[in-house]
Amino acid sequence: MNNRISQSQKLKLSNRLILSNKMLLSLHLLEQNIMNLEEEVIKFAEENPFLEIDMQPFSKLAKKIKKIEGTDDLMENSGIRIVTLRDHLLAQLYIMDLNEDFERIIDALIDLLDVHGFLTVRIEDISKDLKVPVKKVRAAVEILKTLDPPGIGSMNVKEALKLQTDVPTVKALIDHLEELKDNPHLVMKKLNLSQFEFDEAFKKLRTLNPYPANGFADSVYTGYVEPDILVLKSGNGYVVTTNETFEVKFTSANLYEELLKSENESDRKFAKLLNERANSLIESLNRRRETLIKIGRALIDHEMEFLNGGKIIPLKIAEIAREIDLSLSTVARAVSTKYIRTPRGVHSLKSFFSRAVYSSNNGNVSREWVKEQIMAIISAENRVKPLTDSQIVDIFRKMGIKLSRRVVTKYREELMIPSSKKRRRTC
């Protein structure tokens, strides 16, 4: 049997490798938000003489927005503005279907967040200060924790990190943060993890944000949030475009041609490699732009009610992926860390997607909405005859929403509301 690899097989293997590298680069760039992308591309261009970057001034984008939206107030309408954490949280709060009591409590909780986005004031003290029951404050804190950014309203770094992951091994590492810093090998042995399991968990842990307020104007770390997608009002409709803070171009082709004529074979090979990398970068950026515009257009189609002043209709990533003919993982990467500027403010792309969506008589509702309704139903119950979880299931059924008793129990416990037996009053 001939074990030698033919030239054609080598070529096929090489092409597969190039394709794989192109795909990895494309996926990596898609995952980055505009600020991280800019840093990555600048670094890429510094290492490649065939690329040059033209940084786009703010005025160019503002003029583009002015042309479409017909406004002279460029700074206000650009969306490229300083966004405080409070602004961002209130924008989400005011489109939720909450009663005035909960709005007032959560508004107060937002004011009590420290510079890291943590809520370190005791629940009992907040209850006393606002003159509301402790359990109502706890329920409001749970609602606050469902808002973007992930981890907001946590008591400390560990809680903030845990709210961002469902992976057991990552949560286990979080429980050993102090030891992890000094002796990671000991932690690995304590948790009985293989080297591969430990490395994978640690890699995921490093992607989490220990301080939820990072990225906002009132954070001690960074200055502003910048949207990747812009939804602009144009006549009776909307236009989607991407926020282009830079433009990547090829430098003069003369340099490449000169290097190809070089007598030194290694120079020629190096020139071809750099040229391939330059092409891959530009192709990946174009693909990223096309993907974001597709997602933006799909959001417009589904969120007209929100754009016209109503509530956000919760969507499923799988549903949008099917509509725009992309894989679920591609869409998930695209929305993970990005923001969208709409006529109703700047929002996290993730805020349009719910982890759980239920059908109702009035369309889809989100997991968060269901939890709010459970809280409202229990708040209005007869305390002498409090509602059981099964009775709450029946109330939702009349609203056209099918929930299991187990789901109601799970959401009630997440809201820190005791069982009906413990809520019962004797008189």
Give tens-digit pLDDT for 313-336: 778 888 899 999 988 888 888 888
pTM of the model: 0.52
Among 157, 174, 169, 171, which residue's Cα sits nearest to residue 200? 169
d(CA 51, CA 258): 16
- Confidence band for 355, pLDDT divided at 50, 70 and 90: low
- Residues 241 and 255 grouped into a single domain: yes
Helix (H, G, I), strand (E, B) or coil at 262: coil
Residue type for 365, please?
Answer: V
Last residue of a domain, one of 174, 206, 238: 206
CATH number, residue 394 = 1.10.10.60
Residue 33 maps to a domain: yes
Residues 342, 364, single domain; the answer is no
Distance, in Å, from the CA atom of 165 to the CA atom of 18, rounded to the nearest integer, reads 33
What is the spatial distance between Cα 275 and Cα 260, in angstroms, rounded to a whole number?
11
What's the rounded mean pLDDT across residues 267-292? 88
Q: Are residues 191 and 231 in the same domain?
A: no
- Where residue 215 falls (left for φ over 0; alpha for ψ -120 to 50; beta otherwise) is left
- If we measure between CA atoms, which residue out of 178, 172, 177, 206 comes closest to residue 192? 172
Which residues lie closer than 8 Å to 1 by C-beta, 6 or more apart?
none
The reply to whether 325 and 418 lie within a common domain is: no
Contacts of 304 (CB under 8 A, 6+ apart): none
- Write down the mean pLDDT value for the chain: 80
Residues 323 and 396 in one domain: no
Q: Which of 294, 325, 352 is the last residue of a domain?
A: 352
Shared domain for 267 and 374, answered yes or no, is: no
Range of the domain at 247: 18-58+226-352
244 within a domain of the structure (yes/no): yes
**Token output for 238:** 């909307």
- In total, the chain counts a number of residues equal to 427
Q: Residue 140's closest CA among 167, 116, 107, 105? A: 105
Q: How many domains does the chain have?
A: 3
Burial of 126 (0-12, 13-18, 19+ CB in 10 A): buried
Q: Are residues 347 and 374 in the same domain?
A: no
What is the predicted pLDDT for the residue at 296? 94
**Token pair listed for 109:** 């909780």
Q: How far is the C-alpha of 187 from the C-alpha of 193, rounded, in Å?
A: 9
* Bridge partner residues of 240 (DSSP): 231
Tell whether 380 and 268 lie within a shared domain: no
pLDDT digits (tens, 9 = 90+) for 142-200: 999 988 888 899 998 899 999 888 889 999 999 988 888 778 888 889 999 888 888 88
| Residue 260 shares a structural domain with residue 376 | no
Residues 303 and 268 reside in one and the same domain: yes
Same domain, 389 and 323: no
My answer on whether 180 and 230 are in the same domain is no
pLDDT of residue 1: 44
Does position 286 have pLDDT exceeding 90, yes or no? yes
Between these two residues, 251 and 219, which has the higher pLDDT value? 251
